[in-house]
């Protein structure tokens, strides 16, 4: 049990909060209101399994880098609180759990489940060959709104794709900001990122551009999905929090970076989902 606890702490299971609300908002839009407890529960369980598998896989393949990074050398594998065999068993169990859960949702979800696992696992290798790895992380989380739409309607729609691309740019922006703290280590170890490629100052500016694109895509999704003023208020709420997030970090002062990353983005995802649920349920 101590090993399982160490793995759950290591993969920060509470950060499922970032992606789950986007799945919820997509499900509400697809269902034109309340999608039902059973479906929401299945979507949440699938999200739990796929994110847990992805994060554990990331820790597994990044262990040599984590061991040398002062920010990450206390993770479970470098610190000896878990072994690689434990992670392999955990990844396998979560992967199988995800596929089985998708089978309970519908046939299309089951058919797409191996593709989803490939995408979330592939992200862990991208920092080795491209500075655009942040977009691959965004792609992994973009599966949340697309997958939820598949769960409700057993199809992929323009609205779900717009929401998915919005998530890609949201994650690309926030992960670019977060990666600024690893600028020196990435330079030394040969890992690639936008801060490592362009420097912290330009990286923060690019992150702000990514978030402008995200807001524009949310607006487009609202028009395409026939949403109303409550959803629009959610987009304004999101834009305001993104502006606040960028005000917290400067090239010469990253001391408030964790607050920007965790607190603000948690509010963004939950707040936007709440406004969307109210829009589709009330109007």
Residue extents of the structural domains in the chain: 2-282
Q: Enter the DSSP assignment of 155.
A: S
* Residue 239 CB neighbour total at 10 angstroms: 17
> Which of 58, 69, 48, 50 has the alpha carbon at shortest distance from 10?
58
What is the C-alpha to C-alpha distance for residues 199 and 67, in angstroms, rounded to an integer?
24
Sign of CA pseudo-dihedral 233, 236, 241, 244: negative
pLDDT by position in tens, the chain (length 283)? 788 888 888 887 766 777 889 999 999 999 999 999 999 999 999 999 999 999 999 999 999 999 989 888 898 999 999 999 999 999 999 999 999 999 999 999 999 999 999 999 999 999 999 999 999 999 999 999 999 999 999 999 999 999 999 999 999 999 999 999 999 999 888 899 999 999 999 999 999 999 999 999 999 999 999 999 999 999 999 999 999 999 999 998 888 887 767 788 889 999 999 999 999 987 5
Contact (CB, 8 A) for 199 and 176: no
Q: Which fold has domain 2-282?
A: Tetracycline Repressor; domain 2 (1.10.357)
Per-residue model confidence (pLDDT) at position 33: 94
> Can you read off the two tokens belonging to residue 163?
């929401």
Per-residue model confidence (pLDDT) at position 5: 87
Q: Is 253 helix (H, G, I), strand (E, B) or coil?
A: strand
> Can you read off the two tokens belonging to residue 74?
């206390």
Contact (CB, 8 A) for 243 and 212: no
- pTM for the predicted model, two decimal places: 0.95
Contact (CB, 8 A) for 56 and 94: yes
Residue 98 CB-half CA count within 13 A: 25
Per-residue model confidence (pLDDT) at position 67: 92
């Amino acid at each position: 049990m101590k090993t399982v606890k160490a793995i759950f702490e290591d993969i920060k299971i509470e950060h499922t909060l970032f992606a789950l609300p986007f799945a919820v908002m997509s499900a509400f839009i697809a269902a034109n209101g309340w999608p039902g407890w059973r479906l929401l529960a299945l979507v949440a369980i699938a999200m739990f399994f796929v994110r847990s598998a992805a994060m554990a896989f990331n820790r597994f393949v990044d262990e040599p880098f984590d061991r040398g990074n002062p920010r990450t050398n206390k993770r479970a594998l470098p610190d000896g609180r878990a072994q690689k065999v434990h992670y392999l068993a955990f990844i396998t169990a979560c992967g199988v759990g995800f596929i089985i859960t998708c089978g309970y949702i519908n046939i299309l979800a089951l058919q797409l489940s191996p593709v989803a696992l490939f995408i979330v696992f592939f992200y862990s290798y991208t920092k080795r060959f491209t500075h655009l790895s942040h977009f691959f992380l965004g792609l992994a989380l973009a599966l949340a709104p697309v997958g939820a739409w598949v769960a409700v309607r057993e199809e992929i729609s323009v609205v779900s794709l717009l929401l998915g691309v919005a998530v890609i740019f949201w994650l690309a922006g926030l992960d670019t900001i977060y990666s600024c703290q690893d600028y020196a280590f990435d330079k030394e170890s040969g890992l690639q990122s936008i801060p490592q490629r362009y420097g912290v100052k330009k990286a923060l500016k690019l992150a702000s551009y990514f978030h402008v694109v995200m807001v524009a895509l949310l607006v487009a999704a609202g028009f395409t999905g026939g949403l109303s003023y409550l959803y629009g208020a959610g987009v304004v709420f999101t834009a305001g929090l993104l502006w606040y997030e960028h005000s917290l970090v400067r090239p010469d002062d990253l001391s408030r970076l964790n607050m920007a990353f965790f607190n603000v983005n948690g509010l963004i995802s939950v707040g936007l989902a709440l406004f969307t649920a109210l829009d589709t349920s009330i109007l």
